[in-house]
Every structure is written in C-alpha cells, then in structure tokens.
Amino acid sequence: MSSNTARDYVESYVGESDDYLKTEQPRYDSNKPMAQPHTEALEADPQPEPVKASDHYKLHLRTQNPIPSTEKNDTPATTTATTKTSTAEKKEPVAVEWAVRDFKEQRNEIHETSLTICADLHEALFTCFKDGSWWDKAKMCEEQKQTFWKCYNTQKRFLKDVNYKGPVTSPEEDRRILQEAYKLRDKLDAKEE
C-alpha cells in the first residue's frame, strides 16, 4: 500500500485537526472560583441624570413660529377663526378619501360593465387560446384579440365620457347609459359585417 493515497491524506488531516482541538480547547474546572470581572471602571463613570417627567412632555409641544408676528391683532376672535379653519382642514381629507374611493369604484364598475358588454368576444378569445388551431395559437389569436380589445376600449371610453356610475348620476341615468352602450356595441358589430 502506498503512503500517498487520498485516504491517508484525509486521515492525517483529521488527526491534525483533532490535535489542534485538544491543544486549543478551553478547560473549565468547576472547583476553582471564578474571577470577578473588573467593575471599577464602570462605577467611576458618572450616571446620567434621570429625565424629569415635565421635560419629557415638552418634547410633544406644538411647534412655535420663531419669527415674531408683526400683527397686533392676536385677539381671541382670530384664534377661534384659526381653530375653525383647522377643523375644516381636518374634515377635508375625509372628503378627498371619499372622492378617491368613488373614483376607484367608478373605474371598477366601468371595467366590469365593459367586460360584460363584450363578453362574447372575450369568450371567443379564450376559446381560441384553448381550442384554436396551432396557427391561431402561434399568432396569439390576433384577430380575436384585436376584436375584443377594440370593443372593450370603445365601451370603456364611452362609459367614462358619459360618467357612468359616477357619484352624481342617478340609477335611472345609469340604466339609460347602459342601454346606449349596448346600442353602441350593436353599431360596432354592424360596422364590422
């Protein structure tokens, strides 16, 4: 057997690492008392003074204008006017939030209605992808896709322009708009034939 085999090398390496661990491993004797850590330096450091509660609450005071006001009209009437405007400012974000919510709901309604009006074309597009010929699939069902998206975008643009399901429209007006949207779809179908 030769002395230069891979196995011999691995065994010698393992033996060397075992020797290293034996020499470098810390020893703990439970009978010896533990040395006390040196705490003199910690005790010499001055302790910071505790923060007074009144100072803590000053952190949350209102910010004051560092530039003094040149107006001498700081009467209680002007202060009440400022508090009324500040409460009006507090109410405004709620109105903005409602406007954003109304806009999102209207956008979702327009999307759903456009899909409903063009549902047969949407179904034809999915059927093409699922059961179409290999040539249609290779062309990504381009003809059906163009037809559907033309219908969908036209309906979406029309419904948006007439403010369908807007915050100020009535249900009767929305029904009338929906009938007009179906008539528009019929016109588009007649134009393609």
Helix axes 142-161, 76-117, angle to 10 degrees: 140
147-171 core/surface letters (b: 16 or more CB in 10 A; e: else): bbeebbebbbebbeeeebbbeeeee
Whether the predicted pLDDT of 153 surpasses 90: yes
The pLDDT assigned to 174 comes to 93
The pLDDT assigned to 123 comes to 95
Residue pair 132/141 in contact by the 8 Å Cβ criterion: yes
Place of tokens 């708009």: 177
Whether the predicted pLDDT of 183 surpasses 80: yes
Q: In whole numbers, what is the pLDDT of the chain averaged over residues?
A: 77
> Averaged over 58-75, what is the pLDDT?
62
Going by pLDDT thresholds of 50, 70 and 90, the confidence category of residue 63 is: low
Number of C-alpha atoms within 13 angstroms, CB side, residue 124?
A: 14
> Averaged over 3-26, what is the pLDDT?
74
The pLDDT assigned to 1 comes to 47
Q: Higher model confidence: residue 87 or residue 186?
A: 186
The pLDDT assigned to 149 comes to 95
pTM, to two decimals: 0.49
pLDDT digits (tens, 9 = 90+) for 70-109: 665 555 444 445 555 555 555 556 666 667 778 889 999 9
